[in-house]
Amino acid sequence: MNLIFKEDKQISGKLCKAYLENWDFSRNNGSYAKGEDFLSIHWEIAESSPDEVRFHVEAPTHSIDNELNLIKSKIIILLLSKLIEIKNRINIGELKSGSRLTKIDINKSTEVFKIILDQKNIMSTAKENIDQVNSKVEDIINNVIEKFSLDIKNNGMGSTL
């Protein structure tokens, strides 16, 4: 599958995001900006840190939507159990655990892990950097998401595409 790329302008600069069709969901036109009715699983690179390819899982906080937040938590826990397998495949940089892992329920966005690319493996664009990392672990991520596809569907979520 081909990654879908989007750029957002942030206060700190551009943010390049990438996801597969089966990684981004919403219902009732929900979104991250609205804070409800969304589940987003994606890679991102901030313009300020072009060597860091970050993997995020995002959903409403538990006070807004406990069910979607619980699905997010379960996806994160299963991904964390796969970190050794992911690390064994990442030979282009250093794998580090993400931020906010202890506050999944009160944050919309959770960085599960990030890959800090070795200097020699940094490509000229964020898209190329995301592509090279994703190509090494996409199947692991897809297998994790697939385990929750019924839960996602039963919550009325559909692909954003």
Q: Which residue has the tokens 């750029």?
A: 7
Q: Phi/psi at 9 (nearest 5 deg)?
A: -95, 125
Q: Are 55 and 113 in contact (CB under 8 A)?
A: yes
The whole-number pLDDT of residue 161 equals 78
Strand ranges in 21-62 using DSSP code E only, listed in sequence order: 24-31, 36-46, 52-58
Q: Are 160 and 26 in contact (CB under 8 A)?
A: yes
β-bridge mates for residue 9, sequence order:
14
Mean pLDDT, the chain, whole residue set: 96
User: What gap in Å lies between CA 47 and CA 124, rounded to an integer?
Assistant: 12
Q: Are 157 and 41 in contact (CB under 8 A)?
A: no
Q: What is the pTM of this model?
A: 0.95
Predicted confidence (pLDDT) per residue in 33-77, tens digit = 999 999 999 999 999 999 999 999 999 999 999 999 999 999 999
R_g of the chain computed on alpha carbons: 15
